[in-house]
Amino acid sequence: MSLRFHNTLTQQTQEFQPLEGNLVRMYTCGPTVYDYAHIGNFRTFVFYDILRRWLRLSGYKLDHVMNITDVDDKIIRNATKLGQSLKEYTDTYTKAFLDDCATLRLERPERLARATEHIPQMAAAIKQLEDDGFTYRSDGSIYFRIAKFPEYGKLSHNDFSGIVAGARVDVDEYDKNDARDFALWKAPKPGEFNWDTEIGVGRPGWHIECSVMAVQYLGATLDLHAGGVDLVFPHHENEIAQSEALTGKQFARYWVHSEFLLVDGQKMSKSLGNFYTLRDLFAKGFTPESLRYLLASVPYRKGLNFTFDGLTSSKTAIERLRTFKHRIDSAKLAPGTNDTVAGQAAAAIHQFREAMDDDLNTAEALGAVFEFLREANTSLDAGGFLEGNRAGAQELMNRFEAVFEVLVPAEQAGALPPEEIETLIAARTAAKKGRDFAKADAIRNELLEKGVILEDTKEGVRWKRK
RNA sequence: GGCGCGGUAGCCAAGUGGUAAGGCAAGGGUCUGCAAAACCCUUAUUCGUGGGUUCGAUUCCCACCCGCGCCUCCA
């Protein structure tokens, strides 16, 4: 079967088909750079990465835009407190975010779009919405009047027809006519960061940046729009209202949303002390690959309960995969092809693709890989795995790695150089040959203390980092 | 209260109208100078609870319970 996604808009899992040939125009909601991103954020960003990779591996060409929100209340507050310019402040966290993404091996979208670099375009869009009668001004701010957009609520499947117009609800420190109306443009406040534009002085509301940047770079209708579930309402609902009011066309055809990450069964929060950034985890000795694997291994539409036990078991699982990869790459095999093994490899490759096609079912895809891993190891132990079976096994592992990318260990600072390791291994092998096992074990322990694990295999000594 | 997601072994988790993938952990074994790695065996008569449909339901329907998210710019 072909690629399917669960579309929030239709609440159904639908076959994915881009509007134009094999080009996928996609937009994903990126970070607000007011602090270091936490592992909950990265659950979603890893999901974007898996989504990108699988689309590419399915033969699609991507045009993917992700926003960097570099102006909002928190940013303004924090930057002001530090006496920094907006740019100075957000550059710090933008860089940290991009570094973290690289560490987690997340593919870069074709374009990153910063909100503050699109202020004139946002003003122009708001101007057009004003001209078309979708807005009103109140206390210097400009609001979108949802009463003018009857389809409001179609994404979150809420019925807003009962909202009483004229009710004044004090939300967000601004006055609105209708509880659900939202700010397109916020009135200037003294001492804050403001922009002087064709619609006046002030700063943009949160939602307008995504509508404007998406349409500017990708056109009126996107194939795919992704984000965390918490963005369904109001953010994405508002994006739809603005965008479709502007263009008169459907904004996005497939909406995909990732579920939340919990920590020890609870929402992550600083007050509970269960709030983690990547830096926190690496400081505890966990590797980027372990986190990447853990975040990727639970299908994106399922809540993910993060635990340190989970991280540890991910590490172990990765080790097993690495050992297997090494084995099929380096094993000395007898000539010929074992049809049974060949069939198992083909079945695994098939099942892997089927699972991923089914709304990115990474858990099932992993199941296919591990099942073959066990079958192949059994054959390898028994000598039934032949030279002609190598390519099929490698093909499966390559496909696995193309999606999950955890097999190559990250470079670790201060690690023992490979030359020194090889020297020690040679000394140990010599000691073993002389039946001096005490010395051999001493060398092995010395290496272990320096984070290097030895394995004596039929093909010789293999080492790996702890 | 409204909308949405979910409740499967110690933990993570897939899945189907026909009788429960996979990973981790644990115990036993094979191999090894000892390890490590790898493999084998063992660990859910049962899939939140109660009804219903059916020859048969974990899978479909109804009700209920529990967890989580959104409904105040939080991925």
Phi-psi region of A285 (alpha: psi -120 to 50; beta: other; left: phi over 0): left
In this structure, the answer to whether residues A157 and A18 fall within a common structural domain is yes
Residue A168 has pLDDT above 70, yes or no: no
Rounded Cα gap, residues A411 and A417, in angstroms? 11
Residue pointed to by tokens 């509970």:
A272
Structure confidence at residue A466 (pLDDT): 80
Residue A177: band (very low, low, confident or very high) from pLDDT cuts 50, 70, 90: low
Q: What is the structure's pLDDT at A369?
A: 97
CA distance A113 to A230: 21
Q: How many angstroms is C1' of B22 away from CA of A364?
A: 7
pLDDT range class, residue A79, cuts 50, 70, 90: very high
Taking the C-alpha atoms of residue A295 and residue A297, their distance in angstroms, rounded to an integer, is 6
Report the distance separating Cα A45 and Cα A56, nearest Å: 17
Q: Tell me the residue range of the domain where A453 lies.
A: 418-465
pLDDT of residue A270: 74
Residue A171, CB, less than 7 Å from strand B?
yes
Pseudo-torsion of CA A368, A371, A373, A377, nearest 10°?
A: -160
Task: Specify whether A360 is located in the same domain as A233.
Answer: no
| Range A9-29 average pLDDT | 95
Where residue A349 sits, what CATH number does that domain have?
Answer: 1.10.730.10
Q: Is the CB of A288 under 7 A from strand B?
A: no
Q: What is the DSSP letter of A20?
A: B
Report the alpha-carbon distance of residue A292 to residue A289 in Å, rounded: 5
**Cβ partners under 8 Å of residue A395, min gap 6:** A345, A349
Task: State whether the beta carbon of A378 lies below 7 angstroms from any atom of strand B.
Answer: yes
Strand B contacted by A168 CB (< 7 A) = no
**Whole-angstrom Cα distance, residue A401 to residue A416?**
26
Q: For residue range A407-464, list pLDDT tens digits in order.
A: 999 887 778 898 999 999 999 999 999 999 999 999 999 999 888 999 988 778 889 8
- Judge whether residue A173 has pLDDT over 50: no
Could you check: is the Cβ of residue A370 within 7 Å of any atom of nucleic acid strand B? yes
Checking each nucleotide's C1' against the CA of A72, the nearest proves to be: B73
Please state whether strand B lies within 7 Å of residue A159 at its CB atom: yes
Tell me the pLDDT band of A169, cut-offs 50, 70 and 90: very low
- Judge whether residue A313 contacts strand B, using its CB and a 7 Å cut-off: yes
Identify the pLDDT of residue A166: 41
Same domain, A318 and A387: yes
The rounded distance, in Å, linking the Cα atoms of A48 and A43 is 9
Residues of A from 79 to 118 whose C-beta is within 7 A of strand B: which are they?
Answer: none
Q: Are A65 and A110 in contact (CB under 8 A)?
A: yes
Q: How far apart are CA A285 and CA A221, in angstroms?
A: 44
Å separating the CA of residue A1 from the C1' of nucleotide B61: 29
Residue nearest to nucleotide B68 (CA to C1'): A303
A66 within some domain: yes
Beta A174-175 vs A170-171: how paired, if at all? antiparallel
pLDDT band, residue A272 (cuts 50/70/90): confident
Find the Å distance, CA of residue A17 to C1' of nucleotide B54. 38
pLDDT per residue over A190-201, tens digit each?
Answer: 888 999 999 999
- As for how many domains chain A has, the answer is 3
pLDDT at A175: 58
Residues 6 or more apart from A188 whose CB is under 8 A from it?
A: A140, A194, A201, A202, A203
- d(CA A463, CA A453) in angstroms, rounded, equals 6
Scanning every strand, the nucleotide with its C1' closest to A294's CA turns out to be B12
The pLDDT value recorded for residue A162 is 60
Whole-complex ipTM: 0.95
Burial class (CB in 10 A: 0-12, 13-18, 19+), A71: buried
Q: From residue A282, how far is each of A39, A304, A412 by CA, in Å?
A: 12, 20, 11
Q: Which of A370, A404, A438 is at the close of a domain?
A: A404
A161, A111: one domain: yes
Confidence bin at A170 (pLDDT 50/70/90)? very low
Read off the tokens for A125: 């869009």
Q: Which residue is nearest nucleotide B22, judged by alpha carbon to C1' distance?
A: A367
Q: Fill in the amino acid letter for A40.
A: G
In strand B, the nucleotides that come within 7 Å of a protein beta carbon are 2-6, 11-15, 21-25, 32-40, 67-75
| Same domain assignment for residues A76 and A163 | yes
CA dihedral A368, A369, A374, A376 (to 10 degrees): 110
CATH number at A252 reads 3.40.50.620
Could you tell me if residue A389 is inside a domain? yes
pLDDT in tens, A275-317: 899 999 999 989 999 999 999 999 999 999 999 999 999 999 9
Spatial separation of the C-alpha atoms in residues A193 and A71, rounded to whole Å: 9
Residues 217-236 of A with CB under 7 A from strand B: 227-234
Residues A354, A380: one domain? yes
A249 and A345 part of one domain: no
Q: How confident is the model at residue A134 (pLDDT cuts 50, 70, 90)?
A: very high
Task: Give, in Å, how far the C1' of B42 lies from the CA of A367.
Answer: 21
- The answer as to whether A264 is a domain residue is no
Q: What mean pLDDT do residues A29-37 have?
A: 94
- Does residue A276 fall inside a structural domain? yes
User: Which pLDDT score is estimated for A309?
Assistant: 92
- The residue assigned the tokens 């400081």 is A283
pLDDT tens digits for range A346-357: 999 999 999 999
**Angular region, A225: left φ>0, alpha ψ -120 to 50, beta rest:** beta
Q: Residues A65-79: what's their mean pLDDT?
A: 94
> A465 falls in which pLDDT band (50, 70, 90)?
confident
pLDDT surpassing 60 at residue A172: no
Between residue 111 and residue 150 of chain A, the positions with Cβ below 7 Å from nucleic chain B are none
At A211-266, the pLDDT tens digits run 999 999 999 999 999 999 999 999 999 999 999 999 999 999 999 999 999 988 88
Residues A327 and A248 in one domain: no
What does the pLDDT read at residue A165? Answer: 43
What confidence tier does A171 reach under pLDDT thresholds 50, 70, 90? Answer: very low
